Every structure is written in C-alpha cells, then in structure tokens.
Chains A and B, each alone.
Chain A
Amino acid sequence: NAGVTQTPKFRILKIGQSMTLQCTQDMNHNYMYWYRQDPGMGLKLIYYSVGAGITDKGEVPNGYNVSRSTTEDFPLRLELAAPSQTSVYFCASRSGPSPTDTQYFGPGTRLTVL
C-alpha cells in the first residue's frame, strides 16, 4: 500500500494564479481531510469529506475549493492565490468516524505564493 500520496511536493505560485493540489489514498477510506500548517503552528482544517460526493467546510475554507468524485481522490483547488496561502498542506484519510479510527497523513505539499 502506498497509503496517502500528495503531489506536487513543492510549488511556487505568483499572486492571482490558480492550482490544484492532488491527494490520493489506496486504503478505501471514506473520510478525507485537507489541513494547512503555517510555520510553528498546529494544523488547521480546510475541508473534509465523509464519502464520494460529500464535502464540507472546516475552520479555514476561504480561498479553497474541493471535490470528491471518487473514494480515492480528494483534490484541493486554490483560486486566485494570495501570500496568506503560503503554507504546508497535508492531506489525510481515515476509515470512518469511530473514535478509534486513526488518521493517515500524506507527506505534504509546500506552497509559496509570491
């Protein structure tokens, strides 16, 4: 199993550009998450999904969009990139909502907006 994979690993964007961060998991997990982590801070939830076709906002959704057309993929779209979106983005998956279900994280995408 590859687990959770994310692409790209690094990206530099200019202000106003758009991009999609890719996330794929091969564990057949229903729940998927996108977090961002600013330097020295904890993870903040951007969006989450409880299954294909179902997504919802987390704590910091502004400036982002998601879709979940398959169980495996959960791409994060940045429209009109701003310097405030410079961060490390982590995708995670989890089999379900049970309090014993653990999260599995990808390696992250480091994004810089100049």
Chain B
Amino acid sequence: DAKTTQPNSMESNEEEPVHLPCNHSTISGTDYIHWYRQLPSQGPEYVIHGLTSNVNNRMASLAIAEDRKSSTLILHRATLRDAAVYYCIPVSGTYKYIFGTGTRLKVLA
C-alpha cells in the first residue's frame, strides 16, 4: 500500500490561497490520488481526485507532480468554512481506502 506523508497542521489567513502538500513517493502507476476533508464533528467528504494531470473543480484544484510522488491541494481563497482536516489518499482498483492522520487546516479571520 502506498504511504502518504502530510504536515500535521497548517494555518492560513482568510481569503488567501492555501497549498496543502502530500508526499506519496510509493504510489503505483495506476493509483489515483484522492483528497477528502473532514469538517468538525462530521464524516469525511470528497474534495477532488486525479491521476496525472492537474484537476480543477468548484471546491479546489489538485496539482500533481510530474513524477507523481507528491501532490498539492489548492484552495484558492480560504474561508472560515474550510477549516477542517484534509486527507490525501492513493486509491487503487481494490476495496482499500486508507486514511492517514491528515493535515489540520486552521483559517484565521
């Protein structure tokens, strides 16, 4: 199983961009990189996923390194509602969905 490394915590000012890094140097060539976030007292929710190319959706952007050993989740303008724990998860074609400890994002008003 691919291992991931994320910073334990990060801080951002409101309305500024946030770049959340994830190292997944042992990822296999066919694993997709998924990002989830967990708001306080809620279950995790899907944010975005990608394989090789950079991806955008209404919530965030995902930048994947050319060698696929790392990725960065980008929140373009952080709001107080974005304060959450963010998880990056390599996902293969099996049942496995392994959550690490994630990055706790604090957004300062």
Chain A interface (Cβ within 8 Å of chain B)? 4, 31, 33, 35, 40-45, 48, 50, 56, 90, 92, 94, 97-100, 102-108
Contacts and interface: CB of A to CB of B under 8 A. Distances in A.
Interface residues of B, number: 24
Dominant SS at the B interface?
loop
Dominant SS at the A interface?
strand
Given A92-B44, A99-B30, 5 more contacts: A40-B101, A45-B98, A92-B43, A102-B34, A103-B46
Contact of B91 (A35, A99, A104): A99
Contacts of A45: 97-98
Interface of B: 30-32, 34, 36, 41-46, 49, 87, 91-95, 97-102
Contacts of B102: 42
A31 B87 contact: no
Most chain A CB atoms below 10 A, which of B31, B45, B91, B95:
B95
Nearest to B89: A103
Given A99-B30, A99-B32, A102-B49, A108 B93 contact: no
Across the A-B interface, the 5 shortest Cβ-Cβ residue pairs: A105-B43, A43-B99, A99-B32, A42-B99, A102-B46
A108 B39 CA distance: 12
A46 to B, nearest CB: 13
B99 A33 contact: no
